[in-house]
Amino acid sequence: MPWNKWIIVAAFVCAAAGCRAPTGQLPQAPSPIAPSLAPPPAVPVYRIDTERSQLRLLVYRSGPLARLGHDHVILAHGLAGWIAHPEKPGEASFYLQIPVDDFVVDDPQARAEAGPDFAEAVDDDAKAGTRHNMLSAATLDAVLHPLIEISGNAFAGAETDMHATVNVRVAGHDSTQVVPFRLRRSPGGLTASAEFPLRQTDLGLTPFSVMMGALRVEDQMQVTLSLVASAR
């Protein structure tokens, strides 16, 4: 194919895949509500510190035309909720909510920290287009489902190497996942961290794709969760 036709194809694919911000704005999602699941009574409760907690997603491109897209780092800092931690770690429970409108796509510092797969710079139009597609009705459906909610109450293992069975509600879909956790106590607080692969289809989501899958988002993403909670 002549080089000028390749340019036309590349421009079309990038526009379709969100490499440019679409015209118009996505309708604004409703403001996040207060945590809807109350912690159990008579148990020490630690509240999630929104400013110091973070969710990070590493999302990868795929397909025969993957070179025309980008791998993405997606961050969320607006986490809220609680961890109930009695004397027996196996009886711990937690609730976490994440406003999807809080997601930040391809922060330069976050990309630099994520490693060589994310060394390529992503321009503002590509970031805006990716965010628009992510929040659209076909993916996270931010207008109707402004929150991702995660809850769990079945823990197994030692505090430094635990597994929790959790319920995840995203875009109106409920799923059950088994997630590795590390818990640490400190005076007046807790920290919890987790790092694991997760398939979008396991959450009931359809990975974004264009041109019959020639350029698509890889089903499996890498999740890193860091929670800081304090007794209040």
**pTM score above 0.85:** no
pLDDT value of position 100: 95
Task: Express each pLDDT in 87-104 by its tens digit.
Answer: 776 678 899 999 999 999
Domains of the chain and CATH, by start: 3-22+43-231 (2.40.128.110)
Phi/psi region, residue 39 (left: phi>0; alpha: psi -120 to 50; beta: rest), is beta
Q: Which of 13-17, 32-36, 171-175 has the highest mean pLDDT?
A: 171-175
Backbone dihedral angles phi then psi of residue 158, each to the nearest 5 degrees: -80, 160
pLDDT at 26 over 80: no
pLDDT value of position 168: 94
Task: Express each pLDDT in 217-232 by its tens digit.
Answer: 899 999 999 999 998 7
Worst-scoring range by mean pLDDT, 70-74, 91-95, 143-147, 216-220? 91-95
pLDDT value of position 22: 46
Average pLDDT over residues 25-40: 50
On average, the pLDDT of the chain sits at: 81
- Cα–Cα separations (whole angstroms), residue 35 to 148, 181, 221: 11, 21, 26
pLDDT at 117 over 50: yes
pLDDT value of position 232: 72
Structure tokens, 25: 């704005």
Task: Express each pLDDT in 128-139 by its tens digit.
Answer: 989 998 999 999
pLDDT at 15 over 80: no
pLDDT at 62 over 90: no
pLDDT at 4 over 80: no
Higher pLDDT residue, 204 or 214?
Answer: 204
Backbone dihedral angles phi then psi of residue 128, each to the nearest 5 degrees: -65, -40
Cβ-contact 40, 95 below 8 angstroms: no
Average pLDDT over residues 60-85: 87
pLDDT value of position 10: 36
Q: What stretches of the chain adopt beta strand conformation (E)?
A: 45-48, 54-59, 61-62, 72-76, 80-84, 93-99, 104-105, 147-158, 161-170, 173-186, 189-199, 209-210, 215-217, 220-231
pLDDT value of position 216: 84
Q: Which amino acid is present at 122? A: V
